[in-house]
Amino acid sequence: MSLEAKSGKTIVAIDPATENTITEVQAAGEEDIDIAVKAARKAFENPEWKDLDTAQRGKLLLKLSILAERDAEILATIDSWDNGKPYTAAMTEDAAEVISVFQYYGGWADKNHGQMINLGLDKWAYTRHEPVGVCGQIIPWKYPVMMAAWNLGLYLHVVTPLCSRLPLSVLYLAKLIKEAGFPAGVVNIINGYGAEAGSAITAHPGIDKIAFTGSTITGKTIMKKASETLKSVTLETGGKSPLIVFDNADFEQAVNPQVSKAQYEKILSLIESGKSEGAGLLTGGAHSGDKGFYIQPTVFRDVKPNMKIVREEIFGPCVNLRKAHRVAAGVQAGTVWIISSQDTHWGVPFGGYKQSGIGRELGSYALSAYTQVKAVHATPQPYG
């Protein structure tokens, strides 16, 4: 079921390669968020879903993976169109991971067991892993449909406000969720701007958990807001990912437009800050081509740790030349890649150290973030 936004606002989806408008979608406000949360809460308590055994829930996820595989080319095409990433990357990375995540957690659905604990003296206890409640998921523009799947695969009482820049691929995923047979209200997908929709999600008393991917500053704000109602949080916030680029790299295939005009202007601003703070610009640093949000591959030298281009995520074609740490155990980071970069796998935990986040997504480690443990103590009644 789709509803018109009561806010009256819209979001314009723009093709970053041509700057042409693709379409407009409605933008949710606080009142729309409240409607979605109430729908999720109602579904959470509905016996049709609440009493459905875990094996059946797993089958629904597996069916969703089959549908995602059937329509993988559509998901990849939409993401490439709306996001600007190469179709090959959207197909082999994003769409492929959506399929695999739903398969992986569909298999986990009936295996996340508690424990039996012997207390001695004819007493015993056991634990249950129960859903944490209604989750508000705030996803980024970088991997919209893939990161939506990360959380949807783990947990299915979700209010999902999409990134305002890239609403389209997850809206198509909503169509597949309905086709797979999930009850109404279990997943609620919303288009909205972070300042309004994201804030409403974070503050809403009907939401029990927040899963957020985005900047460290926004993550801190969400954590403060969530603390007012003691919401559980999983935060995947900012970080820096050094690369080594070889001289045979195919830039014609690798470099694509920035996702939006706002991101394009932000990257150029960061490049200017690097130059003004004393970093040496070896190459690039300017617009590329006649049309579209393209930026030349950019390389800096003499970069200092306090510079803005080091401290802030750029999400653009900019690198700093410096010696790499060779011992992974000595790197204080949640993920280390060797002879690769940005790889993820649905069976391997993903997250950051320090101010790069709280908790882990993916793998069996992520299951604990979406369940809460109930302890049950039992004393047998004496016979006779």
What's the DSSP call for residue 365? G
- Using alpha carbons only, what angle is made at residue 190 by residues 185 and 194, rounded to the nearest 5 degrees? 140
Residue showing tokens 């947990």: 155
How far apart CA 155 and CA 134 sit, in angstroms, is 9
Tokens of 383: 């016979």
Residue 22 · residue 15 · CB < 8 Å: yes
How far apart CA 55 and CA 110 sit, in angstroms, is 5
Measure the N-to-C terminal CA separation of the chain; round to a whole number of Å. Answer: 58
How far apart CA 209 and CA 49 sit, in angstroms, is 19
What's the DSSP call for residue 355? G
Residue 295 · residue 310 · CB < 8 Å: no
Residue 137, classed as helix, strand or coil, is strand
Among 45, 236, 265, 277, the one annotated catalytic: 236
Q: Is 236 a catalytic residue?
A: yes
Q: Residue 119: how many CB atoms within 10 A of its CB?
A: 11
Which of the residues are catalytic? 236
